[in-house]
Amino acid sequence: MSAAAGKESYRIRSIDIFRGLTMMVMIFVNEVAGVKGLPWWTYHMAPGKNGMTYVDVVFPVFLFIVGLSIPLAIRNRLEHGDSMPRLWRHILMRSLSLVVIGIVLANADGADPAATGMPPGVWPLLALIGAILFWLVYPPTPPRRQTAYRILKYAGLALLIAMLATFRRRTPTGEAWLDFGYWEILGLIGKAYLAACILYVPFRKKAWAPAVWLVILSGWNIATRLGMPNPERFFPHWLWPFDSGALPSVVMAGIVTSLIFADNRFARTFRDKAVWALGYAAILFTAGWAFAFLGISKNAATPTWCLYSSGIAVLLFLVTYWLADVRGWRAWAAIVRPAGANTLLTYLLPDLYYFATVSLAITVPWRRGWPGALRSLVFTGFILGLSFLLTRRRVRMQL
């Protein structure tokens, strides 16, 4: 078999589609969260209550997709000549970049207009514009344009640094700088991605290793719920990427799934892959049920929430894989696939819109009931369409 044919054998087209579908749902649930008067299952499960809605599954499915992509991405980089030091530099910088953008988003609403000298919404808008310019993928062009692109790139970096340096917020004790207590979803993804890579990369040639790490991470999460001290009590959270084992366990569940579908050591035919995937999902659901007495909560990242979410993700990906890779039916996903391939920019587009409306003092109508849900649905379609057009024009971000 030729090298090209070998690469085609583990290419999974459905990953971009699955990621795009997840982005679509994420955009919708984030927008509809501001709409009042809808049924309880339209929102996150209320804090302190035991259970989960479909909204509580969106974030872990995204973590799961990060794990789906890790083995393929690492294999691709190594086959294209990356050394191990260069690979680890890429992993560290990618994780750090996600954390930086996450911290910007986490602090966005806390910027004090009087202290920063900027009207509401302007500080995060400028910070995100700087981030986009810096991490934008500029096309290969003649040297004259390359110079202009470099100027744009580093002007974006300078703008981002300037915004971070000038940030101020109000606290009960006075002015303060950035709040590093919460890193927003992107920062949490970057942290969990780093943790999973630390465990996966050294043992990537061992087919059994991801499953063992999944058991260990899940067991660790269970043990902390039973009273074992969380290592974050002894280490700063920025220095400890594994948290209680919860979020990295979901990423590792995605890595195991990637091996089922992309590694011929497990299964060669779709029938075999489906059997493995269904058996794997059954184990995840059974384990989640066994530890449901510890609670089911997204906010607390309980073991059952992690395991149930991972099991749901396995089944959803199995269906997507059958449609896109086995049957070859991909036209239906044309509107979401660019969002899956250009994920970071698509993720930031709703924030850019929100901060622009805040800075211009534009009031968004229809914030209650089913009209609000309909508006959220239209908004989701608008963002997906914008992502489609930007991706077609080769405007995309890459860390």
pLDDT value of position 8: 40
Nearest to 261 by CA among 272, 251, 247: 272
Q: Residue 351: which of 116, 128, 23, 122 has the closest Cα?
A: 128
* Predicted pLDDT of residue 11: 59
Residue with tokens 């660790």, as numbered in its chain? 220
pLDDT at 332: 93
For 203, the token pair is 């043992």
Rg of the chain over all Cα atoms, to the nearest angstrom: 21
Residue type, 374: L
Identify the segments of the chain with pLDDT beneath 70: 1-11
- What tokens does 161 get? 């640094």
> Residue 357 falls within a domain, yes or no?
yes
Examine residue 365 and state whether it is found in any structural domain, yes or no.
yes
Number of domain units in the chain: 1
84 HSE (CA, 13 A, CB side): 5
**32, part of any domain:** yes
Q: With respect to residue 127, please indicate whether it lies within any of the assigned structural domains.
A: no
Please report whether residue 21 resides in a domain. yes
What is the reported pLDDT for 23? 97
CA 285/CA 306 separation, integer angstroms? 10
The predicted structure's pLDDT at residue 1: 29
Look at residue 1 and tell me if it is in a domain: no
Return the pLDDT at 362. 87
Classify residue 353: in a domain, yes or no.
yes
Q: Are 123 and 386 in contact (CB under 8 A)?
A: no
Report yes or no on 228 lying in a domain: no
pLDDT value at residue 326: 94
Write down the pLDDT at residue 6. Answer: 39
Determine the structural domain holding residue 17 and report its residue range. 13-43+334-399
